Structure 1
Amino acid sequence: MESLFEVVVVLAVATLGAALARKLGVLAPILLVVLGLALSFVPGFPHVRLDPDLVLVGILPPLLYVAALETSVPAFRLNLRPILLLAIGLVIFTAFAVGVVVHLLLPGVPFAACLALGAVVAPPDAVAATAVARRIGLPRRVVTLLEGESLLNDATALVLLRVATIATLGTSVGVGDVAREVLVATGGGILVGAAGVLVFGYLHKRISDPLLDNAVSLIVPFAVVFAAEEIHASGVVAVVVTGLGIGHRMPLLMSAASRLQIGAFWRLARFLLEGLVFLLVGLQLREVVRDLNEPFGFLVAITAAVLATVVLTRFAWLFPVTYLTRLVSRARQRDPAPLAKFPVVLGWAGMRGVVTLAAALALPLTLAQERPYPRQLFVWLAFAVIVVTLVAQGATLPAVARRLRLPPDDPVADALSAAGVQQQASHAARERLDALADTAPKAVVDRLRRGLEERTNLAWERLGGTGRETPSHAYGRLRQEMIDAEREVFRAARDAGRIPEEVLVRAYRDLDLEESLLRQEKKS
């Protein structure tokens, strides 16, 4: 009961922190980490120890799954080359660079152990980068690259960490062993993920009850991870493949009611899990610093060296990869080199998060041989990288993006494309309606034609951009007032005993759905 109370308290604080961040206009991940740092030393506040298994199996899979569900597969495929260069090449490059630097500063520590630390701090966080990028409105392609990188880089880092840990424990690791580990982890993850698409896609298609669809959706990431772990494959890759496949086919697999309910559920789940994750990271400070024995000056020096390596290697990789690869490939023909400001923003968006800390806490307590191994120092270094990159880079990323004046996505081009497709969709709908017109009363057919015409006009209205209220917005404003009036009449009738509660619930449900649609149209 006490542990349940602690979880409720931490969730409540995370929710309040996220609400405060919105009120202050601050990025929630940054505020929650700072809040956790402060609360870690408050006497009596629940001390929730971060369990690596809980993070890697309980928290990361659902967050990756919902991110993959919302990722555009065509955009992901179109940007596959730069995504893989970031998610695989940059992670390996950063891990070896950090390993070399730490080994130079700690020559008595085996290089394999230093490489393990490099693998721990190499991958940017799957939550932090995209949360910040979407919040500040970065261009769509930058967000796609950051999302794609964050979906796959954890798999690269965890495989590299596994290999380095095996070598650290004294087992001889050759090129063949590494290749086999990569093949099993990646290939097995892809196979399990593809199987997840087939199995759970079939279940979603057979299920008509939105509640059951929602329950299956909740089970998917955990089932896929456990299946991958059973064959020692990468659970991260499996979850991402399953999420991409089901998300791409979702309109064909689920009813509209299921999609709406699943979307609402995963928004809530992501909100709670992200808040919990960042708060928990900050709350670990007291435990991380408790057993540190290194001299203060040396601690500052090695921390600064690792931080500088983590930040600079990202830029050192991005600029050559962005421009030199186009000189030796056909990429420049279909994808011209971007302005230098784009790799600058991508480079500054390398925030680390909870996976880094979980991987650090999962490092072995001792080595097989009696060799020096400052595990607690490694945990501190990982923690420092998380806090500094998340707070410093995350807080300044909006200013960097504004200063560089990245060209935003063209809303007129988006609206023009949407209007063109809506025109085609309306034509198809009109043909279908004409073919079925004899099966319904004329008044019903005329009403459907008017609604179709209104949706087409709404798509073209978005191209106006004059600043004046469009007819559709005027309709939404007046209809909202009408809904409020209707809702009040139903409530008064229920209170007076003229209608039962069930009638009120049904009426509210219909009015709520219409109001939700009005709000969505207003946002778009």
Structure 2
Amino acid sequence: MTALAHRRGIEPALLIVVIGAAVSFLPGFEPPELDSHILLTVVLPPLLYSAALNFSVPTFLRNIRPILGLGVGLVVVTAFAVALSSHLPWVPLSFATALVLGAIVAPPDAVTAVAVGRKLGLPKRVMAILTGESLINDAAALTIFSIAVAHVTGDHVFIEEPLLLFGYSAVVGPVVGAALGYVTLWIRESLAHPGLETVQGMVVPFAAFIIAEELHASGVLAVVVAGFVVGSGRLDAGFQTRLQERYVWNSVDVLLEAFVFAYIGLHLRFVLEDLHEAHESLGEVVIVSLIVLLIVLVIRPLSVFAMFWRKKLSERIENKLSGQMPERGRGGPGTRRSAPSWWSRIDRTPLSWQENVVVSWTGMRGVVTLAAAAAIPATTATGAEFPERATIQAVAFVVAVGTLLLQGSTLPMLIRRLNLGWASADETAVEAEHRKAEQVAKQAAERVFADFREHPPGDVDPQVLVDIVTRIARLAQDADEAPDPEEHTRRAEVYTSLYRDVLASQRAALLAERDAGRIDEEVVRAMLDRLDLQEAGVTARLEGRL
């Protein structure tokens, strides 16, 4: 179905939901039932972990201000705005149940936006902000969700004070994730087996999520930090491990996203039946759904541009005041203390109005919204039915489908009209980014060659050394330049060692340029994939001679 949707230019999630809903109306059909805790534990950790593996930590820190503003601030504002608007005299939701609904629909799912951005070539900072937001907004939303659900069901909460609970989750969760990430890297050093390393990597997100949740901390943040730590150490792994993990996690992402949308579609008929039993008319549910959808569509653009103009206003005031205030001597009482290095690297440059428009329209709801809606417990602590569970699920379904239809289908056109993507920009800009990455890789190789020439192995003929350097330089074009693996000679050993040093230097140089923000992250990712595939191709040809 996903392949058919891509060929037809349709959003795969919508097609899967429609087919699942149609199947739910077949006579005698019984939908699959999963425990609410199992559903979130199975679906959410792998999706977050695979995204964190490929995301640059320095890029995340450099854009931490807009990421926190969107991923935490906007989620809280959206959740309470939806709760307040759904707690009205003509709406059948109490404030607690309305807050459950608000937490469910608050976090946008950036999968669609990031996929569109990669295809059309959104500016690297916009892509970094959207990806970073998607990594932390689920933590804020699910914390509110768990507090609201516990209040409705009457379950015991680890810390009664919501702010203290939020702070505890935000501190302990990352600590758990970092510890597990470093343990994973330590274990991988002794494995040295691509298959085992890939299997071990698939266990990490589930372990991080479960351990953190057992400690009443944020499982989402634990998974994200574990992904950051393991992703930063992937260069120490072999190319086979990186290639296997890349394709495995891509497949897992597609499978889990399809599963969630199919799961909610297969339950649609039964949600409607529950609504029919609970309400004489579906009019109230339709009203709530439209109100919530409208709030979700409007509140993000309003918040994004409020942050944009606040930044502009503060800059004008700061510039005006800085022109009036006298300069203070060095070492005087007005001298500011030097900020930490990571703090000084935070990018405080505001986005352009075109970029803000795109960011404001990337509020599609998806996997997390539907998974959280399906994860609402069926009963309270007393055994009674969870109040308005079917209503909340129906509203969440309408919001997810509505945002995918309205925002997901129009986002590519909006990017093109604003001339932000590579598809709309001059092709020379795209080529320049790729040439820059190739130049970085070439310079890194030249540095290794220069060091090799200055400190050559003493037991190899100089002419042989020249031949080795020449062959490695041509290796990208012709893998047959490599020596025969049956030659267990000093020449073959030097060749292999130098070739690996060149690749390691190229990868490190590309990542350094990416982390400094000088090369587009998508271009660097493509270049790293190319190096891994190049090494895989050479290795396969060498092994094929045996």
Contact 1:55 1:354 in 2 (8 A): no
2:261 aligned with 1:261: no
Contact 1:120 1:157 in 2 (8 A): yes
Deviation at 1:262, TM superposition (A): 2.1
Question: Equivalent residue of 1:291, what SS?
Answer: helix
Distance 1:199 1:413, change over 3 A: same
> Equivalents in 2 of 1:326, 1:228: separation in Å?
40
Deviations 1:159-179 (Å, cap 9, x if unpaired)?
111222333346899997112
Residues 418, 362 of structure 1: CA spacing in aligned structure 2 closer, same or farther, 3 A cutoff? closer
Map of 1:381-396 to 2, 5 A cutoff?
A: 381-396=395-410
Question: Counterpart of 1:346 in structure 2: which amino acid?
Answer: V
Residue correspondence of structure 1 range 323-472 to structure 2 within 5 A? 323-328=309-314, 335-365=348-378, 373-408=387-422, 410-434=429-453, 435-440=455-460, 445-454=465-474
Distance in 1, matches of 2:539 and 2:108, equals 35
Q: Which amino acid aligns with 1:436?
A: P
Distance 1:354 1:51, change over 3 A: farther
Verify: 1:315 aligned to 2:298, yes or no. Answer: no
Q: In structure 1, how many angstroms separate the alpha carbons of the residues matched to 2:239 and 2:158?
A: 52
Aligned 1:201-240 pairs, distance under 5 A: 201-240=185-224
* 1:441 positional shift: 5.4
Q: Is the 8 A contact 2:363 2:403 kept in 1?
A: yes
1:75 pairs with 2:59: yes
Q: Contact between 1:326 and 1:332, CA under 8 Å: does it hold in 2?
A: no
Tell me if the contact between 2:107 and 2:369 (Cα under 8 Å) persists in the aligned partners: yes
Say if 2:83 is the partner of 1:63.
Answer: no
Deviates more, 1:95-104 or 1:438-447: 438-447
Match of 1:185 among 165, 169, 172: 169
Query: Deviations along 1:48-100, whole A, 9 cap, x unmatched?
Result: 34543333111211111111001121211111110111110010000011001
The match for 2:142 among 152, 158, 182 is 158
Q: Give the letter for the 2:283 counterpart.
A: G
Match of 1:497 in 2: none
Question: CA contact under 8 A between 1:210 and 1:261: conserved in structure 2?
Answer: yes
Give the match for residue 495 of structure 1.
Answer: none
CA distance in 2, matches of 1:374, 1:25: 36
- Decide which moves more: 163-172 or 391-400: 163-172
Q: For residues 29-66 of structure 1, give each alpha carbon's deviation from its aligned partner in whole angstroms, at most 9, with x where no partner exists.
A: 33323333333334577733454333311121111111
Structure 1 residues 515 and 383, CA gap change in structure 2 (3 angstroms) = farther
C-alpha separation in 2, matches of 1:231 and 1:511: 44
With over 3 angstroms needed to count, the CA separation of the structure-2 counterparts of 1:436 and 1:289, relative to structure 1, is: farther
Tell me the percent identity: 38
Q: What residue identity is the alignment partner of 2:294?
A: A
Structure number with higher helix proportion:
1
Q: Tell whether 2:115 aligns with 1:131.
A: yes
**Aligned: 1:299 with 2:285:** yes
What SS does the aligned partner of 2:203 have? helix
**Among residues 79, 99, 122, which one is paired with 2:106 in the alignment?**
122
**Matched-pair contact (CA < 8 Å) for 1:50–1:358:** no
Deviation at 1:452, TM superposition (A): 4.5
Q: What is the Cα-based RMSD across aligned positions, in Å?
A: 3.5
Q: Matched residues in 1 for 2:170 and 2:240: separation?
A: 35
The answer to whether structure 1 residue 111 and structure 2 residue 100 are counterparts is no
Does structure 2 retain, via aligned residues, the 8 Å contact 1:127–1:274?
no
Q: Secondary structure at the match of 1:436?
A: coil
* Corresponding residue number in structure 2 for 1:33: 17
After the TM superposition, which of the residue ranges 193-202 and 159-168 deviates more from structure 2? 159-168
Seen in structure 2, the aligned counterparts of structure 1 residues 260 and 201 have a Cα distance that, compared at 3 Å, is same
Note the C-alpha offset of 1:380: 0.8
Show CA shifts across 1:237-269 (max 9, x none): 0000000111122113x1222222222322222
Alpha-carbon spacing, 1:127–1:372, altered in 2? closer, same or farther (3 Å): closer
Q: CA deviation at 1:107?
A: 6.0
Measure, in 2, the Cα distance between the counterparts of 1:516 and 1:281.
45
What's the CA shift string for 1:173-206, capped at 9, x where partnerless? 9997112211221111011011112211111222
Cα pair 1:315 1:347 within 8 Å, conserved: yes
Aligned to 1:12: none
Going from structure 1 to structure 2, the CA distance change for 1:28 and 1:439 (only over 3 Å counts) comes to farther
Question: How far, CA to CA, are the matches of 1:271 and 1:378 in structure 2?
Answer: 26
User: Is 1:214–1:258's contact at 8 Å kept on the other side of the alignment?
Assistant: yes
Confirm or deny: 8 A CA contact 2:43 2:371 kept in the other structure.
Answer: no
In the other structure, the counterpart of 1:465 is: none
Residues 517 and 284 (structure 1 numbering): CA distance in 2 closer, same or farther, change over 3 Å? farther
Other structure's SS at 1:278 match: helix
Q: Is 2:206 the partner of 1:250?
A: no
Amino acid of the residue matched to residue 53 of structure 1? H
Contact 1:49/1:284 (<8 A) preserved = no
Does the residue aligned with 1:352 lie in a helix, a strand or coil? coil
For the structure 1 residues 267 and 334, does the alpha-carbon distance in structure 2 shift closer, same or farther, using more than 3 Å as the test? closer
Query: What SS does structure 1 have at the residue aligned with 2:88?
Result: helix
CA contact (8 A) 1:109 1:371 kept: no
Q: CA contact under 8 A between 1:27 and 1:132: conserved in structure 2?
A: no
SS in 2 for 1:104: coil
Matched-pair contact (CA < 8 Å) for 1:63–1:127: no
In 1, Cα distance between equivalents of 2:145 and 2:407: 25
Cross-structure match for 1:11:
none
Task: Check the 8 A contact 2:117/2:421 in 1, yes or no.
Answer: no
Cα distance in 2 for residues equivalent to 1:45 and 1:365:
20
For residues 212-250 of structure 1, give each alpha carbon's deviation from its aligned partner in whole angstroms, at most 9, with x where no partner exists.
Answer: 111211111111112112211111100000001111221
Report the Cα distance in structure 1 between the residues aligned to 2:350 and 2:449, rounded to whole angstroms.
44
TM-score, normalised to structure 2, is 0.74
Gaps of at least 5 residues in structure 1 are 1-16, 459-471, 480-509, 519-524
Give 3-state SS (helix, strand or coil) of 2:109's partner.
coil
Post-superposition offset of 1:291: 0.9
Query: Aligned AA for 1:418?
Result: A
Following TM superposition, by how much is the alpha carbon of 1:438 offset from its aligned partner in structure 2, in angstroms? 4.0
Which stretch has the larger CA shift, 203-212 or 162-171? 162-171
**Amino acid across the alignment from 1:448:** I
Equivalent residues in 2 for 1:269-280 (5 A)? 269-280=252-263
- What is the SS of the residue equivalent to 1:292? helix
Matched-pair contact (CA < 8 Å) for 2:311–2:350: no
Q: How far, CA to CA, are the matches of 1:333 and 1:235 in structure 2? A: 26
CA offsets per residue over residues 335-387 of structure 1, 9 Å max, x none?
Answer: 43322222222222111123222322333546679999422111111111111
Equivalent position of 2:495 in the other structure: none
Residues 199 and 372 (structure 1), Cα distance of their counterparts in 2 relative to 1, 3 Å cut:
closer
Distance in 1 between residues matched to 2:346 and 2:393, nearest whole Å:
45
Q: Which moved more, 1:213-222 or 1:331-340?
A: 331-340
